[in-house]
Amino acid sequence: MTITLSETMTLNLLLLTLACFGIGAAGALLTAPWPRVSRLVGHACALVGAIGTLALGAAGLAGGTLGVIIPALLPVGGFSLGIDRLSAFFILVIAVAAIPSALYAIAYTRDYEGRHSLAGMGCGFNAFLAGMVLVVLARNALTFLLMWEVMSLASYFLVMTEAEHGETQHAGWVYFVMTHAGFACLFVGFLLMARATGTMDLGEWRAASVTVSEPMRYAVFALLALGFGTKAGVIPLHIWLPKAHPAAPSHVSAMMSGVMIKLGIYGLVRIGFDWLGVGPSWWGGAILVVGAISAVLGVLYALVEQDLKCLLAYSSVENIGIILLGVGGGMLFQSYHLDALASLALVAGLYHTVNHATFKPLLFMGAGAVVHATGTRNMEELGGLIKRMPQTAAYFLIGSVAIAALPPFNGFISEWLLFQSLLLSFQISATGTNLLFAAVVAALALTSGLAAACFVKAFGITFLALPRSEYAKRAREVPWMMRGAMGMSAVACLVLGVAPVGLLRLLNATAADLTGAHTDAHFNWDVIVADGAFAMASPLWIAVALTSLLALVLVALRIIGANARRRAYETWGCGRALQTSRFEYTSTAFANPFKRVFGLLYRPVKELDIRFHPESPFFVETITYRNEARSIFDEALYGPMSRLVQWASHRARIVQSGSVHLYLLYILVALVVLLALAG
């Protein structure tokens, strides 16, 4: 692109965006006595800020530069910001999700009036958005860590909005512990790297990393990967995610799931392709394996969920896994010096990142609309909503088709590219690696099949057939602003699915910045050609052909004189007199085949309790059936770990006797030891 943007313009856009978030945060607090005003000010400013973020991202991708260093604000290197294509792309990802989410929040938060502090929510939401933008722009280790913490704390407070529920408190606590365990890893990793390279400036790390000793680079990689992996929610570090996402208000879940966890991906891309230079092949291999496990297990856990938002949260674990397949595959290709192929895998991963930032907020907003209309997230109590909330249903359906990676929506493009890049792994001549890739292809295929099943369930059980409860029966369509926000995301899903060319070209350049080579792919307006003529697909023509064939079938039926009449009648019920929702398939029933096939993983608990009438065993009074899946991670990993920590802290409590004399003795002993060491 030939447009050159002056640095001042990018800087002004940044200042404008941050000013919006700042005014929103301060305004929400200042108008706290008037909840309605506070709510509107907070979220309207967030919306304007999000639009500013979009402009900032576009400016960055168009070649705008940025260099802000304020030494006075922070020690060691100051407060330092900069922008490159990767940063700009992630800013764009933030904006794509933030604009509809903020718009949605304006109407959605009305429910919270009078029940919760809207000032806190408005302030937290703005701080959350600003924190995420600044994390991506940070060019100094300390700036990065500080903004990372702003983002984490703001989201923590947002998760705790409904703190009166015990469930929310538990979710908040787990989130707090996990995010800070991750932060500790990041902190140590950053400090080690800064010491090894002698600079806190992130921009200089790539060049300096060649001089860092191998064990030190391995240690830094492991620590940073753990830290970023926790934020991304990869298995087994995911346990906070299915708790925190459902507990938060829906527009916050949309942002956390659509964007915040992506910043973990941002970090992993930075360490894999930028800060640490080209690593050994086991780095990419490890990320590939973790990605495959996250993808398959994430969707398997999503499949058995009955809580709609919890299902979406587990599906985020799955999608993070899919993105990591692109990132890990790229790293592995790069360690074999197949730079063009590395770019292709990275493009696929990054494209899936932006896709997930469009359809996951859409789905969370849809789930929020369902909660808004019915007051429940339990799918077993829903059903029949497609007739009561037709627009929400249509948007949720678009989100479901997109996330199931079906054409002509956007999820399909990234998954197709990912499959092509993984299949091209035969260019590596190392049989072990080839087999790893074959296993990963199988894992991705299984994931996409299971994701389709999962979203047939999510949409079908929630929106189709008859309502299963009074709440669902009384549901009404949500306000226009919420529908508008969902509509925006739905349109984005279609546009990114039908016309991916512009973004693909930009991503090609972004990936080339990191790997040093462009992909061997041609991204034309009507057809994508990967690696010579290895693979071709035309998303635009798929959509056009499907629509015209649909029309053709309709016309043809007319011409051959098919009977066009339709009669409405009740569902055939084996001769039963009436049809009620009691005969419908439930979410549990839908997931049952999967529970049996993957029983080893779920280890389902099955309880069947039948109470007979006291007079005669031929009359059944109640039947209670429970069939729950357990999480092996809670049982086998985190359970023992938390018991160990508890045991250790009980032991350590001995030193804290409460006697001042003993404490004085400790001080004396410590002094003596220190003096001896110093001497």
Q: How far is the CB of 290 from another protein (least distance, A)?
A: 19
Q: How far is the CB of 304 from another protein (least distance, A)?
A: 12
Kindly give the interhelix angle for 281-303 and 431-463, rounded to the nearest 10 degrees: 20
Nearer to another protein, 449 or 640 (CB): 449
Cα-atom radius of gyration of the chain, to the nearest Å? 27
Nearer to another protein, 150 or 394 (CB): 394
Nearer to another protein, 177 or 536 (CB): 536
- Alpha-carbon distance of 249 to 102, in angstroms, equals 12
For residue 117, count other CB atoms closer than 10 A to its CB. Answer: 17
Distance of CA 252 to the CA centre of its chain: 12
Q: First and final CA of the chain: distance in angstroms?
A: 65
- To the nearest 10°, the Cα dihedral for 152, 153, 155, 158? 170
Q: How far is the CB of 541 from another protein (least distance, A)?
A: 5
- Alpha-carbon distance of 175 to 157, in angstroms, equals 11
| Closest to 272 (Cα-Cα) out of 347, 231, 234, 324 | 324
Q: How far is the CB of 137 from another protein (least distance, A)?
A: 37
- Alpha-carbon distance of 228 to 264, in angstroms, equals 4
Nearer to another protein, 100 or 321 (CB): 321
Q: Which two tokens stand for residue 383?
A: 């059903």
Q: How far is the CB of 544 from another protein (least distance, A)?
A: 9
Q: How far is the CB of 414 from another protein (least distance, A)?
A: 12
Give the chain's largest Cα–Cα span: 103
| Closest to 538 (Cα-Cα) out of 549, 547, 529 | 529
Nearer to another protein, 149 or 380 (CB): 380
Nearer to another protein, 405 or 485 (CB): 405
Q: Which residue has the tokens 């989410």?
A: 101
Q: How far is the CB of 254 from another protein (least distance, A)?
A: 24
Nearer to another protein, 44 or 443 (CB): 443
Nearer to another protein, 25 or 401 (CB): 401
Q: How far is the CB of 542 from another protein (least distance, A)?
A: 6
| Closest to 325 (Cα-Cα) out of 452, 182, 437 | 437
| Closest to 126 (Cα-Cα) out of 19, 14, 244, 22 | 22
Q: How far is the CB of 302 from another protein (least distance, A)?
A: 12
Q: How far is the CB of 499 from another protein (least distance, A)?
A: 15
- Alpha-carbon distance of 434 to 437, in angstroms, equals 5
Q: How far is the CB of 584 from another protein (least distance, A)?
A: 5
For residue 84, count other CB atoms closer than 10 A to its CB. Answer: 18
Q: Which amino acid is at 602?
A: Y
Q: How far is the CB of 417 from another protein (least distance, A)?
A: 10
Nearer to another protein, 273 or 594 (CB): 594
- Alpha-carbon distance of 588 to 194, in angstroms, equals 51
The answer to whether the beta carbons of residues 414 and 355 sit under 8 Å apart is: yes
Coil, helix or strand for 605? strand
Nearer to another protein, 583 or 663 (CB): 583
| Closest to 410 (Cα-Cα) out of 468, 455, 344, 348 | 348
The answer to whether the beta carbons of residues 279 and 217 sit under 8 Å apart is: yes
Nearer to another protein, 6 or 571 (CB): 571
Q: How far is the CB of 285 from another protein (least distance, A)?
A: 17
Q: Which two tokens stand for residue 175?
A: 């989130």
Q: How far is the CB of 562 from another protein (least distance, A)?
A: 4
Q: For the range 384-387, what are the long-range contacts, defined as Cβ-Cβ under 8 Å and sequence gap of 24 or more? A: 384/463, 384/464, 384/465, 384/466, 384/467, 384/468, 384/472, 384/473, 384/581, 385/462, 385/463, 385/467, 385/472, 385/475, 386/463, 386/464
Nearer to another protein, 195 or 596 (CB): 596
The answer to whether the beta carbons of residues 424 and 534 sit under 8 Å apart is: yes
Nearer to another protein, 10 or 355 (CB): 355
Nearer to another protein, 372 or 457 (CB): 457
DSSP secondary structure letters along 372-397: HHHS--BGGG---HHHHSHHHHHHHH
Alpha-carbon distance values, 213 to 201, 287, 336, 484, 655 (Å): 19, 22, 21, 54, 40
Distance of CA 586 to the CA centre of its chain: 27
Nearer to another protein, 599 or 639 (CB): 599
Nearer to another protein, 144 or 416 (CB): 416
The answer to whether the beta carbons of residues 245 and 298 sit under 8 Å apart is: no
Residues comprising the chain, all counted: 679
Q: How far is the CB of 462 from another protein (least distance, A)?
A: 10
Q: How far is the CB of 603 from another protein (least distance, A)?
A: 17
CA angle 460–465–471, rounded 5-degree value? 95
